[in-house]
Chains A and B, each alone.
Chain A
């Protein structure tokens, strides 16, 4: 099965950088996804990592270490609209398992 851990809540200041960590244990691995979800809305795709290393996409970057079962999402130049939940999800055999999400609050 899959087990995914990420912090429940984080707070960061507008304009700053925040790193959201995710650790996972899995019986099969076919990539790691990060999704953003604003309260009451649908999740939206942010990034996908299948090889070790850093993937950069604008203000958002995602890192993966398969040997350590570890990923992080890095958000730079935080904006108030970045206040949302960030879901780490692991692709396993035939399905994607989502973590419970990290609720990020961006304060002025």
Chain B
């Protein structure tokens, strides 16, 4: 158990709909990262928040948005869903905010499996 929690575990919805994925980081971690992993694809970095502020942005679609709240939990909002959005969505957390600097291990949550029908 990494200490990172994600809800829901599974989500099935229809095209055009909007969903919200939730993540609670490990106690003491200030950074939250969101990743998308499609079948046979690598982990695609979407976005990072550090202590409530957006820190880095990856290949996140305009239909997707995220935020980090004062209690440090984060939500990823996916709207106008398409079939291609079906994937595993992982949240990870780390102590510091600079993901690429120094030893900054990321701890991953169990993921949310999104299926768009």
A-B pair count, CB < 8 Å, reads 68
Q: Does A50 sit at the interface, judged by CB under 8 A? A: yes
CB proximity of B44 to chain A, nearest CB, Å: 8
Chain B, residues 7-31, CB within 8 Å of chain A (1/0): the string is 0000000000000000000000000
Question: Is chain A's interface secondary structure helix, strand, loop, or mixed overall?
Answer: loop
Are A30's CB and B43's CB within 8 A? no
Q: Identify the stretch in B66-74, B76-84, B98-106 within 8 Å (CB) of chain A at 4 or more residues.
A: B98-106
| Assembled-state Cα–Cα distance A99/B113 (Å) | 21
Q: Quick check: A42 and B2 within 8 Å, CB to CB? A: yes
Please provide the chain A residues from 92 to 108 with a CB less than 8 Å away from any CB of chain B in the complex.
Answer: 92-101
Residues of A within 8 A of B41 (CB): 100
In the bound assembly, the distance between CA atoms of A42 and B90 in angstroms comes to 7
Taking CB atoms and an 8 Å cut-off, the chain A residues in 75-96 that contact chain B are 87, 89, 91-96
Q: Which A residues are CB-close (under 8 A) to B99?
A: 91, 94-96
- Judged by a CB distance under 8 angstroms, whether A43 is at the interface is yes
**B42 cross-chain contacts in A, Cβ below 8 A:** 87, 98-101
Q: Determine the main DSSP class of B at the interface with A.
A: loop
Q: With an 8 A cutoff between CB atoms, is A48 at the interface?
A: yes
Q: Which residues of B contact A31 (CB under 8 A)?
A: 100, 102-103
Query: Chain B residues near A40 (CB, 8 Å)?
Result: 88, 113
Which chain A residues border B56 with CB–CB below 8 Å?
94-95
A89 to chain B, nearest CB (A): 8
User: Shortest Cβ distance from B97 into chain A, in angstroms?
Assistant: 9
Closest 10 CB pairs of A and B: A91-B100, A100-B42, A42-B108, A98-B43, A30-B100, A94-B56, A92-B100, A95-B56, A45-B105, A30-B101
Q: Interface of A with B (CB < 8 Å)?
A: 28, 30-31, 33, 40-45, 48, 50, 87, 89, 91-101
Please give the residue numbers on chain B whose beta carbons come within 8 Å of chain A beta carbons, in ascending order: 2, 35, 40-45, 48, 55-56, 58, 88, 90, 98-111, 113
Known pairs A50-B103, A94-B98, A95-B100; list 12 more (Cβ under 8 Å): A30-B98, A30-B100, A31-B100, A43-B43, A89-B43, A91-B99, A91-B100, A94-B99, A95-B45, A95-B99, A96-B99, A100-B40
